[in-house]
Structure 1
Amino acid sequence: MMVKKDNQRVRLTKTLLKTSLIDLMQNKQIHKITIKELCAHAEINRSTFYLYYEDQFALLNEIEDDFLNHVKTHLIKIEHPSNDRNFLKELLAYIKNNAQIVRILLFRLENLSFQTSFISIAIDTLKLNLKYEYPNHLADYIYRYLTMGCLSIIKKWIEDDFTLSLDELSDLIFQLSDHAASSYN
């Protein structure tokens, strides 16, 4: 029973630290956030912080890894082979539901390694799900073009505070991507 309580405490502590870092990163860059400030925000002692993390960057790395794993898990759960639009709509709903963390992790210039990992997941998903076959020497260029275009549209959607509905945005992305992809097939 003691182990379970300890595990709950550890999870709660880590959740508080992660939430606090995300909150602070809305207004500050990661390198300007001190451990003292982070711990005060989380209402946790600094010694407790150092039990789990070396610094704020280690905490951010764990947040990034957690988010990427959640995205992968979510993508696997979506029924996509029969309905590409539903797949895209479900992915957009996931992004909308996690907008705060997406804004920070995906669209801040200081987070290039995370962006690269996220783009890699997106490209792998495209390769699995697109029904087009491209010349080998062009395939990676086409997938990158489609991925970066979609991310740019999603970024604009987030910046505009989700003014387009999920249906409107998924239709727009699907039509643009389908047209671009099919023109090289």
Structure 2
Amino acid sequence: MTPKNKKSQIKIQNAFIELLEYLPLAKITVRALCNHAEINRSTFYRYFRSISQLTTATIERHFGLLFGETYKFYLKHQSIEESQFYIANNIFSHIRHDYDFYHIMFKRYPNFYITLKDFITVRYMQLFEDTGVANHMVLDKNIVAEYIASAYTGMIQGWINRQLQESPNTMAERLITLNSNGPIRLLTEAEKRIK
């Protein structure tokens, strides 16, 4: 794809996100999008078949930046623990950078929470395979990946709802603490401190 074509695609996707600020997804039409982006319909159809396909492509473009180069990082450091902080910090930094997109999508795209969770689950399952730990865990890799993805997605949505009050680094540390210790252990340790 030429730089000009890429620029046109991104222009259409950005106009789509802008429209989502004040229109529900179901009410966005190709005509409204073309008017907002100041393009003709043939330009839209050169890149996208429908609003649905545009939605998917826009989500995929943003999700593609979430994890960074995880496996390359792991190969260099050979540490799951360090890789986890790299992933968490990359994810929360990306969310902060593209806050408007994530804020709008959680608000306007009905299945965004599940879409994000599923994406993170798949990426973690791939990480487990790449690092060789997939078949050596106490629990099934699917369960572990879903647990981690659910923690991420819940924390991301809460952070967005709080309008990113904490830094990406703080959020990464909190997520690592939660995933490293588990919520039950954190609760039982708190209970011991009370007594």
TM superposition score category, shorter chain reference: 0.7 to 0.9
What's the C-alpha RMSD, in Å, of the aligned pairs? 3.3
Indicate the residue corresponding to 1:54 in structure 2: 49
Identity %: 19
User: Is 2:26 aligned against 1:31?
Assistant: yes
How many residue pairs get aligned? The number is 177
1:95 Cα shift?
1.9
| Compared CA separation, residues 130 and 175, structure 1 to 2 (3 A) | farther
**Is 1:166 matched with 2:161?**
no
Matched residue, 1:135: 138
Deviation of the 1:143 alpha carbon: 2.9
Counterpart CA distance in 1 for 2:70 and 2:154 is 20
Structure 1 residues 100 and 153, CA gap change in structure 2 (3 angstroms): same
Distance 2:34 2:174 in 1: 43
The alpha carbon displacement at 1:154 in A equals 1.5
The 1:29–1:181 alpha-carbon spacing in structure 2 relative to 1, beyond 3 Å, is same
Is the CA contact 2:85–2:176 (under 8 Å) kept in the aligned structure 1?
Answer: yes
What are structure 2's unaligned runs of at least 5 residues? Answer: 186-195
Greater Cα shift, 170-179 or 80-89: 80-89
Q: Secondary structure of the residue that 1:70 maps to in structure 2?
A: coil
1:69-119: CA deviation from partner (whole Å, max 9, x where unpaired): 333555456566442334422321122112222334466324477335413
State how far apart, in whole Å, the 1-side matches of 2:20 and 2:121 are. Answer: 24
Alignment gaps of 5+ in structure 1: none
Aligned pairs for 1:3-42 (under 5 A) are 7-42=2-37
SS in 1 for 2:23: coil
- Taking structure 2 as the reference length, the TM-score comes to 0.72
Residue 24 of structure 1: how far off its partner (Å): 1.0
TM-score with structure 1 length normalisation? 0.75
Distance of aligned partners of 1:78 and 1:26 in 2 relative to their CA distance in 1, 3 Å threshold: farther
Contact 1:30 1:57 in 2 (8 A): no
Give the C-alpha shift of residue 163 in structure 1.
Answer: 0.8
Query: What letter matches 2:102 in structure 1?
Result: V
